[in-house]
Amino acid sequence: MSQKTIALLGNQNCGKTTLFNVLTGSNQYVGNWPGVTVDKVIGKISSKDWDVVDLPGLYSLSPYSPEEIVSRNYLLSDDYDVILNIVDASHLERSLSLTLELAAFGKPMVVALNMIDVMEKTGTKLDVDKLGEKLGVKVVDISASNRIGIDKVLDAVAEAKAPVITNFFDAEISEKIDEVGKTLDDANLSDSARRFIATGIVQNDEIYLEEYKTSEKVMIAAARVRNDIESKFNTDAQSYFPQARYQFIDSVLEDSKITTESKTSVIS
């Protein structure tokens, strides 16, 4: 049993705080993130010697609100051992887009597919193991508010592995993004943080352009990737990355959905 810090990440209203409370009970401490008025809530799972950080909701890693920036900065800090990504099973497509962005960090990760009770009411059925296999990340189905699947989450976190698939983009483009990442000056950045920031700069994401005061070297390398994307895919960089993610998600969901027809055909 080893000390771990678990980062709870997901969209707003996916059930992070509900799961956090179930996991940590009254063992919680509220602090402060530096420079912003956003609460830093950390809880302990005493029986495991694990710290859990309940992070503000995040829709994408191109954050706009101070809350989202706190979560994004925490991810870049690398001060955690496991990403526990809570996904709202009733808004799967949108939620999984963040999952793919998180997987790109290459850290041990578990996806907790929450609100499984809501999904079941809509008649959707998923093969959770298959979904995990296709995503390259362990997926467990839970209902935080009904306290269902909590032990599965703990077991999965104990055995969490780095995602098998961390890159959903064209191989040639990815290589060039890594080259942009290598031109970033900050020596403290991990490889995945470099890749991540470079992807933001290539997309002309203002927050990355501002925060990582970019040298001419970086800008030239980024412009080259932008041109490559436009000529290869006939679309701009801002559209290419989300499109590639949604394409991957659609194929993953297609493969993981259990339809009534296929169930019948298995039986007969």
| Interface residue list for ligand GDP (CB under 6 A) | 10, 12-18, 57, 114-115, 117-118, 143-146
Residue 15, phi-psi category: left (phi > 0), alpha (psi -120 to 50), beta (remainder): left
- Distance of closest approach, residue 37 Cβ to K ion, in angstroms: 6
- Distance of closest approach, residue 14 Cβ to Mg ion, in angstroms: 9
Residues 136-195 that bind Mg ion (CB under 5 A): none
- 95 touches, from Mg ion, K ion, ligand GDP, none (C-beta below 5 to 8 Å by class): none
Nearer to ligand GDP, 12 or 46 (CB): 12
Long-range own/partner contacts, residues 161-164 (CB < 8 A, 24 or more apart) = 161/108, 161/109, 162/106, 162/107, 162/108, 162/109, 163/103, 163/106, 163/109, 163/135, 163/136, 163/137, 164/136, 164/137
> CB 254: neighbour CB atoms within 10 A?
9
Distances (CA, A) of 234 to 57, 177, 182, 204, 227: 33, 18, 26, 17, 10
- Distance of closest approach, residue 142 Cβ to ligand GDP, in angstroms: 7
- Distance of closest approach, residue 33 Cβ to Mg ion, in angstroms: 14
Assess 21 for contact with Mg ion (CB under 5 A): no
> Which of 3, 17, 59, 89 forms a contact with Mg ion (CB under 5 A)?
17
Assess 247 for contact with K ion (CB under 5 A): no
Nearer to ligand GDP, 56 or 200 (CB): 56
Residues 9-68 that bind K ion (CB under 5 A): 32
- 149 touches, from Mg ion, ligand GDP, K ion, none (C-beta below 5 to 8 Å by class): none
Chain residues binding Mg ion by CB under 5 A are: 16-17
